[in-house]
Amino acid sequence: MAAGEGRRVLVTGGSRGIGRAIARSFAEQGDRVAVHWGSSRDRAQQVLAELPGEGHLLVQADMTDAEAVGAMVDRAAEDLGGLDVLVNNAGVFTAHPPLETSYADWQAAWAQTLATNLVGAANATFRAVPHLIAAGGGAVVNVSSRGAFRGEPNNPAYGASKAGLNAFAQSMALALAPHGISVTCVAPGFVQTEMAREVLDGPGGDAVRAQSPFGRVARADEVAAAVLWLASPAARFSSGTIVDVNGASYLRS
């Protein structure tokens, strides 16, 4: 189904930041969006109220709870009347610098980060696949990170979770292509959201902005634009790709 024809879209982590911008971008195309939230109910309701068009809805699940994720995806597909696009966007970025973190905190950071960023996305994808096949094909777009390639010295579990997400996406691209489903990633550098606020507003903020020759970090709508294209039928043959949105701050070969 093409953009503007009322695609049925599930965006995880749609209550804030990049997910909010992604939900809005799809709605502006005439698509219907299930806005997933975890703990930010009021903010999710506000996102929903601000979406243009009709037929959008909210779904809730803790992304670390496999049963809840499965039920959430089924609920979204049922209430939307099917599913054409899944955007795995929900994620956490919790600092755990290796030389300053207790072993207990290290364990907690790895468990939470992998469960949310990687296993949560894998579970959502698993449960979305039957709905995407029933729709005759579609797209899964994962919100990864520059950190998968550049390294995350203070958040190594985060970098590992996003590298894992890239590898997961590429495996699923191979598995799902025969069903007309593309699986791709977008890999932003720092984006102006709450997740990055502490870094961007802190003493190192200017150095982060200077990493890009544009002299700034990304806006959430710039990430959303890439997601919108990756989810479009025009991008179907680009399945398996990882699109950088980092202002040329990190160029991989």
Ligand X SMILES: NC(=O)c1ccc[n+]([C@@H]2O[C@H](COP(=O)([O-])OP(=O)(O)OC[C@H]3O[C@@H](n4cnc5c(N)ncnc54)[C@H](OP(=O)(O)O)[C@@H]3O)[C@@H](O)[C@H]2O)c1
Residue 18 is encoded by which pair of tokens? 């990049």
Out of 13, 156, 159, 247, point to the residue binding ligand X (CB under 6 A).
Answer: 13
- Residue 6 or 125: the one with the smaller Cβ distance to ligand X is 125
Within 10 angstroms of residue 50's Cβ, the number of other Cβ atoms is: 12
**Coil, helix or strand at residue 39:** coil
Q: Determine, following the binding rule CB under 6 A, whether residue 149 of this chain makes contact with ligand X.
A: no
Cβ 5 to ligand X shortest distance, Å? 27
Out of 87, 188, 230, 242, point to the residue binding ligand X (CB under 6 A).
Answer: 188
In the numeric block, the tokens 């950190």 are attached to 147
Out of 35, 122, 190, 226, point to the residue binding ligand X (CB under 6 A).
Answer: 190
How many residues sit in the footprint of ligand X (CB under 6 A)?
28
- Site mask for ligand X (CB under 6 A), range 87-126, x = bound: --xxxxx----------------------x----------
Out of 9, 10, 86, 195, point to the residue binding ligand X (CB under 6 A).
Answer: 195
Q: What are residue 84's phi and psi, to 5 degrees?
A: -110, -30
Torsion 91-24-36-10 (CA) sign:
negative
Instruction: Give CA–CA dist 110/138, Å, rounded.
Output: 32
- Site mask for ligand X (CB under 6 A), range 41-80, x = bound: ---------------------xxx----------------
- Residue 19 or 247: the one with the smaller Cβ distance to ligand X is 19
**Coil, helix or strand at residue 171:** helix
Catalytic residues: 158
Residue 122 is encoded by which pair of tokens? 């894998």
CA angle 58, 14, 229 (to 5 degrees): 115
In the numeric block, the tokens 């544009």 are attached to 214
Cβ 4 to ligand X shortest distance, Å? 25
